[in-house]
Copies of this chain bind each other. A is one copy, B any other.
Amino acid sequence: MAYRFSPAIAKLINALGKLPGIGQKTAQRLAFHILDESREDALALADAIREACASVTLCSECCNLTEDDPCDICQSRTRDRTRICIVENPRDVAAMERIHDYRGLYHVLHGVISPMHDIGPEDIKLRELFQRLQTHDEIEEIILATNPTIEGEATALYVARLLKPSGIRTTRIAHGIPMGAALEYADEVTLARAFQNRQEI
């Protein structure tokens, strides 16, 4: 007979193993750590999960995760309300904000169009984007900042095509050699893109 963890421990290991990137072995290690060393921290984690799930919703404007609706960025009086940057998920908003360069608004798609995974335009927050554009005629520029993956590119092209009739300026973030990287190690697609989009200096 194989050694079986007691039901509550097995349940805990199983629940931890559902987190992304946490395999069975790591889940076991975490479970024993919780029970053996840090029950207080673990109970604080349980509370934090409950609290966050209860209080965090999507902003009705930009679909970012927020506790207040509209979110801080959509409510801010100091942001440039003529620009919307379209990103795939809330982590990308955090990444964009870290550059301290962009002062416009956001729209979070919560995914990308991916026929392979059966995700169509209606499965991401595109309807919300176009409703937003209809009620806000101050928008002058839409910046497409989806990831430079096949799906991210396709989604950007799809949105750009839908925006064409509106006459709103639509831009895509630049792709090229990352700063600090070496040409010789760049993949060909990136290098080709960097070459095509070369600029006067």
A residues engaging B (CB < 8 A)?
2-3, 5-9, 11-12, 14-16, 18-21, 26, 28-36, 38-39, 41-53, 55-56, 65-68, 71-72, 89-91, 93-94, 97-98, 110
Contacts and interface: CB of A to CB of B under 8 A. Distances in A.
A159 to B, nearest CB: 20
Nearest to A22: B30
A19 B66 CA distance: 24
B89 A32 contact: yes
The 8 A-B pairs with the shortest beta carbon distances in the complex, nearest first, are: A3-B97, A15-B48, A15-B45, A46-B46, A46-B49, A12-B52, A6-B67, A8-B52
B91 A9 contact: no
B20 A30 contact: yes
B3 A52 contact: no
Given A8-B51, A53-B39, A72-B6, A65 B32 contact: yes
Given A6-B67, A20-B33, A33-B19, A12 B89 contact: no
B36 A89 contact: yes
A39 to B, nearest CB: 5
Nearest to A68: B6
Contacts of A12: 48-49, 51-52
Contacts of A29: 20-21, 91
A34 B18 contact: no
Contact of A11 (B42, B51, B71): B51
Nearest to A5: B94
Contacts of A51: 8, 11-12
